[in-house]
């Protein structure tokens, strides 16, 4: 595919086209590259616009995937053949993201009835110049009626608005496309009930899989995993999850197995954040699990084992039925809120991925089976690149073998640079707290490829810790250079985050861990040895190719625990300058 889905993602966001409404872009749905290039070039020349507004899809399936990624107020003008329009229009004609459709075909009379049936079809044409002229006239007419105050003049987003945009989940499939790369049982197939005009969906594998519901607007929901395609079939066997503001319940159509009214188990209130709820089910173990936040077994709220009488029925579960706010009319009643919901399905059952990365030649069979460690080749490309970059990075090298000891001395000594800097940073994360500080020593320059600097050495004095924080949806690798650290991973970043039991792991010197945009993103780092030495780590980050926001802040729970704030990951000092500084301090100490 010379210009299809993989290339569409790389289009620049900025538009400088005065003759076109600022929210419009164009899709040419046809398998002819030559026709597309000719059409696009003539249009851009006639209307004096840039080519980055144009994309091409080979077939209807590609177009539907591309269209599902459009977020209002952005809209699409579709130029396509009559047959492809017939296949696509019924699923998208009612959606606000579709601006208009232009049919280019050999027989106008054959597709005129389609135009009468669907008002968004602006015309049927057998001559490309006529189509172009009509399209140009319509756009110019639309621009004439745009008031001056509404013309493109985008204001810069506030930090809060940028944080909201960065947290907004995608509307496209989130699955690894490389062989051998793991997605760690995260449901990656995007499904939009409004796009499919259906509140039911076929699942991927009979009897096992997982579903994620993401909500920006808190709305009670019911998930039914059923062995019948008809949600109203009274003979169906169903696994049922109901989540509302007062209670969460998990069971089957035969009985409720577990329920809770604990505040952080039920529907979370509106607070300007996306919340994630998940369910995972397995015919092999006859288990069903429910959780909130990152999807992994250790964040499970309910884990039930179905009665033996339901084991066979569970093997036939193949259909997902969804209700919002208890209504069978959610497509109509909640159409205005559709952008506040995301649904993802997967075929794998939840588990807890290994946190430690080890080289392929040291990974054992038990490491793999018990998820104790993962080899770097099973991580996505950004993590593999970062891992290779820092694998051989060491702190104590031949030119300064006492580097780690010099850092520890500087931390403890009142006249040390490190000690003074830590005191200076005591109120960095809210209420002054000397122990809620650490040092950020950066390598290289900020180049936009990562939040802040891509490579950061961090020094953790005994007992010191970071706030609970996120990582801008970036890929990341952490290696312990000296001492050890305690990492606590949380299911989500929220004001009530400490009500959740975190996953805790100790990383010793030389050990390496990882993060993905949707896994291990929320953590707290601490030096657990309150009577020991300063620990030192190197962290490295990279935005994914799919990341079009490049949100450069780390969001964190402040020292009071009363607000989620935004931290610009700035540098305390350049690494090489820091090394010279430590050498000077160490040499002065040695002389004395």
315 and 382 part of one domain:
no
Confidence band, pLDDT 50/70/90 cuts, at residue 3: very low
**What's the average model confidence in pLDDT over 273-300?**
96
Whether residue 563 sits in one domain with residue 467: yes
Q: Are residues 238 and 379 in the same domain?
A: no
Does residue 281 sit in helix, strand or coil? strand
Same domain, 277 and 410: no
Residue 193, domain member (yes or no): yes
Residue-number span of the structural domain to which 205 is assigned: 189-346
pTM, whole model, 2 decimals? 0.75
Question: Does residue 11 fall inside a structural domain?
Answer: no
Residue 9 lies in a domain: no
If asked whether residues 341 and 371 sit together in one domain, one would say no
Residue 262 and residue 245: Cα distance in Å, rounded?
A: 10
Residue 81 falls inside a structural domain: yes
Q: Rounded to the nearest 10 degrees, how much is the dihedral formed by the CA atoms of 247, 252, 254, 256?
A: -30
Confidence of residue 183 (pLDDT cuts 50, 70, 90): confident
CATH number for the domain including 571?
2.60.120.10
Same domain, 372 and 425: yes
Q: Nearest 5°: CA angle at 132, between 131 and 137?
A: 100
One domain, residues 302 and 379: no
pLDDT at site 10: 32
Q: How confident is the model at residue 155 (pLDDT cuts 50, 70, 90)?
A: low
Residue 10 belongs to a domain: no
Q: How many domains does the chain have?
A: 3
Q: Band of the pLDDT at 522, cuts 50, 70, 90?
A: very high
pLDDT of amino acid 148: 46
Between vectors from CA 224 to CA 218 and to CA 228, what angle results, nearest 5°?
150
| Domain containing residue 260: CATH number | 2.60.120.200
Do the domain assignments include residue 261? yes
Indicate whether 32 belongs to any domain: yes
Phi first, then psi: give them for residue 223, nearest 5 degrees.
-110, 130
Work out the number of other CB atoms within 10 angstroms of the CB of residue 365: 7
Q: Is the pLDDT of residue 134 over 90?
A: no
Domain end point (choices 123, 144, 165): 144
Of 69, 342, 350, the residue nearest 183 (C-alpha): 350
As a whole number, the mean pLDDT across the chain is 89
The lowest-confidence range among 167-176, 240-249, 469-478 is: 167-176
pLDDT score recorded for residue 18: 54
Residues 298 and 369 in one domain: no
- pLDDT band for 19, please (50, 70, 90 cuts): low
292 and 389 in a single domain? The answer is: no
Q: At 366, give phi and psi (nearest 5°).
A: -65, -35
User: Which CATH number do you get for residue 29?
Assistant: 3.40.50.2300
Q: What is the pLDDT of residues 102-133, one digit of tens each?
A: 999 988 889 988 888 898 999 998 888 888 88
Residues 493 and 540 in one domain: yes
**Could you say which of 144, 170, 204 is where a domain stops?**
144
Domain end point (choices 295, 315, 346): 346
Task: Please indicate, yes or no, if residue 177 is contained in any of the structural domains.
Answer: no
Q: What percent of the chain has pLDDT over 70?
A: 94
Note the pLDDT tens digit of each residue in 243-257.
999 999 999 999 999
Alpha-carbon distances of 257 from 227, 248, 260, 306, 363, rounded to whole Å:
19, 11, 11, 8, 39
At residue 9, does pLDDT exceed 60? no
Instruction: Please indicate, yes or no, whether residues 256 and 326 belong to a single structural domain of this protein.
Output: yes
Is the domain of 391 the same as that of 244?
A: no
């Amino acid at each position: 595919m010379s210009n299809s889905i993989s290339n569409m993602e790389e289009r620049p966001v900025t538009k400088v086209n005065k003759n076109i409404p600022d929210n419009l872009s164009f899709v040419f749905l046809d398998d002819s590259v030559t026709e597309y290039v000719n059409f696009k070039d003539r249009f851009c020349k006639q209307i004096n616009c840039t080519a980055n507004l144009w994309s091409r899809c080979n077939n209807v399936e590609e177009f539907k995937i591309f269209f599902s990624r459009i977020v209002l107020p952005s809209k699409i003008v579709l130029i396509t053949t009559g047959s492809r329009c017939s296949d696509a229009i019924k699923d998208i004609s009612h959606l606000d993201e579709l601006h208009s459709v232009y049919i280019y075909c050999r027989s106008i009379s054959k597709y005129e009835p389609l135009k009468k049936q669907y008002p968004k079809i602006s015309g049927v044409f057998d001559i490309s110049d006529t189509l172009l002229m009509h399209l140009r006239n319509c756009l110019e007419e639309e621009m004439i009626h745009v008031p001056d105050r509404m013309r493109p003049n985008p204001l810069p987003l506030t930090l809060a608005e940028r944080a909201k945009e960065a947290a907004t989940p995608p509307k496209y499939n989130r699955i690894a496309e490389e062989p051998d790369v793991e997605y760690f049982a995260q449901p990656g197939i995007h499904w939009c009930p409004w796009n499919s005009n259906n509140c039911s969906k076929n699942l991927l594998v009979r009897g096992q899989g997982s579903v994620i519901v993401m909500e920006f607007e808190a709305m009670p929901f019911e998930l039914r995993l059923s062995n019948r395609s008809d949600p109203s079939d009274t003979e169906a066997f169903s696994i049922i999850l109901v989540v509302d503001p007062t209670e969460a319940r998990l069971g089957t159509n035969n009985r409720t197995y577990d329920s809770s009214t604990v505040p952080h188990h039920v529907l979370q209130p509106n607070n300007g954040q996306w919340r994630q709820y998940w369910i995972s089910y397995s015919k092999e173990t006859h288990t069903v699990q429910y959780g909130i936040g990152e999807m992994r077994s250790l964040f499970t709220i309910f884990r039930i084992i179905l009665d033996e009488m339901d084991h066979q029925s569970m093997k036939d579960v193949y259909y997902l039925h969804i209700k919002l706010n208890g209504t069978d009319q959610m497509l109509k009643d909640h159409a205005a809120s559709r952008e506040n919901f995301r649904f993802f399905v997967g075929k794998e059952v939840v588990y807890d991925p290994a946190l430690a990365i080890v080289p392929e030649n040291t990974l054992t069979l038990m490491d793999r089976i018990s998820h104790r460690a993962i080899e770097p080749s099973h991580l996505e490309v950004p993590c593999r690149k970062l891992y290779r970059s820092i694998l051989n990075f060491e702190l104590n090298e031949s030119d300064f073998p006492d580097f780690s000891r010099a850092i520890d001395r500087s931390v403890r000594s009142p006249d040390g640079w490190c000690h003074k800097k830590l005191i200076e940073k005591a109120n960095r994360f809210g209420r002054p707290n000397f122990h809620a500080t650490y040092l950020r020593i950066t390598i290289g320059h900020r180049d936009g490829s990562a939040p802040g600097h891509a490579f950061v050495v961090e020094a953790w004095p005994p007992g010191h810790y970071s706030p609970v924080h996120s990582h801008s949806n970036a890929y990341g690798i952490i290696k312990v250079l000296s001492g050890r650290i305690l990492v606590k991973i949380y299911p989500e970043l929220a004001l009530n985050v400490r009500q959740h039991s975190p996953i805790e792991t100790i990383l010793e010197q030389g050990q390496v861990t990882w993060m993905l945009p949707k896994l291990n993103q929320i953590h707290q780092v601490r030096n657990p040895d309150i009577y020991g030495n300063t620990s030192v780590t190197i962290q490295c980050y990279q935005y994914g190719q799919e990341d079009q926001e490049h949100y450069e802040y780390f969001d964190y729970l402040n020292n009071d625990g009363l607000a989620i704030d935004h931290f610009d990951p700035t540098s305390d000092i350049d690494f090489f300058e820091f090394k010279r500084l430590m050498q000077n301090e160490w040499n002065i100490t040695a002389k004395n």
